[in-house]
Amino acid sequence: VKAKIAVNGYGTIGKRVADAVRAQDDMEVVGISKTKPNYEAAVAHQLGYDIYAPAANLEAFEKAGMPAAGTVEEMVEKADLVVDCTPGGIGEKNKPMYEKAGVKAIWQGGEKHSLTGFSFNAICNYEKAVGRDLVRVVSCNTTALCRAIYPIDKELGVKKARVILARRATDPNDVKKGPINAIVPDPIKLPSHHGPDVKSVLPQINITSAALKIPTTLMHVHTVNMEVEKDCTVDDVKNIFGSQPRIRFVGQGMSSTAEIMEFARDMKRPRNDMWENCIWPESITVGDKELYFFQAVHQESIVVPENVDAIRAMMELESDGAKSIEKTNKAIGLSK
């Protein structure tokens, strides 16, 4: 029998998680929830997902010609595990509903670590998530940093990591937020939360960060600097990154996030998703036990395979993280 998964909140992350779960052979989507019968709900309906909605809005779905299968509470009752993809800060309010139904739950990076007491990244701590009831999958930026820092720490020992993040201002579908003509140090008070959030997964890492919001919607770009314990060469670092299942080297004329997104479109990735960290191998610079590189991060999709792996661990469908990562990658079409 397949694990029964509900996706509460079908926005940027939720719609991608639903499709990625559907692509696996050991789990299935029992329902997705939408608050309103908008265009995204219409597509979910077309894709054959059972849509659930808040009780007060059921009539609106009926009127819009896409009758809901029931209330959000009813969806939760049908599931073994709920992936909460509601906006940051909203998700925590759903905890009592999940507890009442006795279901396992995953939240996203917009929620605090303390909500679940366990923050997840597949490469770093899959095994510790096995059998857990409550897990937080860390944010897009934290996911990318964990994937890059963990293997370097394992092979070379990270003494300290310093990160500058150029963050996309908002997602491509968002018409409400800016900036459209400014660079915003965000937050001005340092450090930003991004680097320190890595410690929720890798407490041993000495890391701080600063972040700037810039007028783009495509991707984030990180400038990463690490001081390491062992002497190493550029090739050593390339070999470490090259062996990682969710790190892709970008080159071949891809000198910007715009070209990486075009590449994802050309590869016919769903929604032009780039699930991997995109590292420019030419940027990898090493000297005096210190290394630097640039990586681009597709915020809309990077956490999607991690959600699938978190489900597999929590539902005890696979005890080996490397095997789950391979299975997830293959099913969604992530091949390097």
Active site residues: 140
Per DSSP, 21 falls in state: H
Q: Does 43 bind ligand NAD (CB under 6 A)?
A: no
Among 10-18, 231-239, 250-258, 327-335, which window interacts with ligand NAD (CB under 6 A)?
A: 10-18
Single residue of 35, 71, 208, 217 touching ligand NAD by CB under 6 A: 35
Asked if 158 and 227 touch (Cβ cutoff 8 Å), the reply is yes
* Rounded distance between C-alpha atoms, residue 91 and residue 1, angstroms: 28
Give Dmax over CA atoms of the chain in angstroms: 67
Single residue of 121, 125, 139, 244 touching ligand NAD by CB under 6 A: 139
Q: From the CB of 85, what's the least distance to ligand NAD, in Å? A: 5
Asked if 53 and 68 touch (Cβ cutoff 8 Å), the reply is yes
Q: Which residues contact 76 (CB under 8 A, 6 or more apart)?
A: 6, 8, 82, 97, 98, 101, 103
Single residue of 2, 4, 11, 66 touching ligand NAD by CB under 6 A: 11
Q: Does 142 bind ligand NAD (CB under 6 A)?
A: no
Peptide bond connecting 245 to the previous residue in cis, omega within 30 degrees of 0? no
Residue 10 tokens read as 């079908």
Q: Does 13 bind ligand NAD (CB under 6 A)?
A: yes
The backbone torsions φ and ψ at residue 125, rounded to the nearest 5 degrees and listed phi first, read -145, 35
Among 62-70, 74-82, 83-91, 275-283, which window interacts with ligand NAD (CB under 6 A)?
A: 83-91
Single residue of 103, 303, 308, 314 touching ligand NAD by CB under 6 A: 303
Residues that bind ligand NAD (CB under 6 A): 8-14, 33, 35, 85-88, 90-91, 108-111, 139-140, 171, 299-300, 303
